[in-house]
Structure 1
Amino acid sequence: MPKPIRTSRRAWCAAWVVLCAAGLAATAGLNASSAPDPQPERSVSAECAECVADIETQLAEAKAEQEGEGDGVLAFSRVQAGTGDDCRDELRDHLRGDR
């Protein structure tokens, strides 16, 4: 029966360090190559811009009325028939502050 090759602990540690370094370098390379491109800014239609401006005006008026009255709830009814669904994403982005 052949005698197994004895490898020192230093050799095992060196091999482990080399493998870890190679893995980290490969991971860094993959992360750098798959960076997402920045999204171009979407243009907002005139109807949606007007709708957002109206809602901003209503928010400002409600905030001015609320000063000193305490807590309250501000509710909006549905907007005009055609613009509500068309401007939903723009309005959501505006109110979240993603613009």
Structure 2
Amino acid sequence: MTLVETHPRKTARRPSGAASLRPSGPHVWADMTVEVALSVLDSSRAGQLLLCDEDGRCTGTVSRAELSAARGSARYTDRTQLRDIVHSSGPSLSL
């Protein structure tokens, strides 16, 4: 008796080229509020969010600690945006 595979298996392929250089994780934009960013971070269960510019290029990251510190500051309002708390350092994704 010969076994026949009726459902072909999908094999995982490693991304190549530009796709492998693309950072993964939740993306947020500078005009997003701190509260919304915290909500995205909670729902994604990620350690940090990738901060993107208007063209969709990643320009930095923001962590839960940074968002929590901003929310605890005296200058915080419910309209505080990420651009008010994050100082992007360019395409290196480091703050």
TM-score by length of 1: 0.23
Which has more radius of gyration?
1
Which structure's relative contact order is higher, taking Cα pairs within 8 Å and 6+ residues apart?
1
TM-score by length of 2: 0.23
From the two aligned structures, give the one with the greater strand fraction.
2
